[in-house]
């Protein structure tokens, strides 16, 4: 495939444990069969923010620690997967559809200075990009059943998304995910000590 000459869009994404990520793959396939043309246009990851540049490994580690602390507060360190929802990124203009992750979202100040151009209002594990008319499809189509197990282990990574020269513009993208960084391991004793300091 030939990529457009336009600069790629950069995101920081949360990648769930393999068992949870693999459980979403058949859901995306069933969405495609139900008429969602964008089911293969975005990887099964949860975007945290649209950013101006890729983060360094050290910056990802610092963000991972912050995200672990957010997840730990009153949650047993687990991220639970809730029914699907639509979340929009105004620039670039993307609408993502997928199950909501029951975890607080990182604030812009948790990212490197000036890097976060847009923080997603909630985290969703993307199952499909939505194009024109697809939002109505989410209400009209018989959606497949969703069963994604909760998870503690997760990674953060940079992701670039590049428009393709051919195909329907709303769905035609190629992506590249950088080397991931694991979130620190969950420690119940530390979580109890920090509970009063963590926003939920």
pLDDT at 76: 82
pTM: 0.89
- Buried b or exposed e, range 81-120, using 16+ CB within 10 angstroms: beebeebebeeeebbbbbbbbebbbbeeebbbeebbbbbb
- In Å, how far from its chain's centre is CA 3? 23
pLDDT at 197: 36
Task: Answer yes or no: is pLDDT of 93 > 80.
Answer: yes
Task: Answer yes or no: is pLDDT of 3 > 50.
Answer: no
Q: What is the mean pLDDT of residues 137-159?
A: 92
Task: Answer yes or no: is pLDDT of 12 > 90.
Answer: yes
Q: What is the mean pLDDT of residues 182-197?
A: 65
pLDDT at 7: 80
pLDDT at 20: 86
Structure tokens at 89: 């990124």
């Amino acid at each position: 495939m030939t990529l457009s000459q336009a600069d790629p869009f950069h995101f920081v994404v949360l990648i769930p444990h393999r068992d949870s990520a693999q459980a979403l793959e058949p859901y995306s396939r069933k969405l495609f069969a139900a008429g969602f043309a964008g089911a293969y246009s975005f990887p099964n990851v949860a975007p945290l923010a649209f950013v101006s540049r890729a983060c360094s490994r050290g910056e990802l580690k610092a963000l991972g620690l912050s995200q672990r602390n957010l997840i730990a507060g009153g949650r047993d360190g687990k991220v639970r997967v809730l029914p699907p929802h639509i979340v929009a990124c105004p620039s670039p203009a993307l609408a993502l559809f997928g199950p909501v992750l029951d975890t607080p979202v990182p604030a812009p100040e948790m990212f490197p200075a000036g890097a976060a151009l847009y923080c997603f209002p909630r985290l969703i594990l993307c199952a499909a990009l939505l194009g024109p008319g697809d939002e109505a499809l989410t209400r009209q189509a018989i959606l497949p059943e969703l069963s994604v197990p909760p998870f503690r282990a997760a990674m953060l990574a940079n992701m670039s998304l590049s428009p393709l020269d051919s195909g329907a513009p709303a769905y035609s993208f190629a992506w590249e995910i950088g080397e991931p960084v694991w979130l620190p391991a969950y420690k119940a004793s530390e979580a109890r000590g920090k509970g009063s300091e963590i926003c939920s």
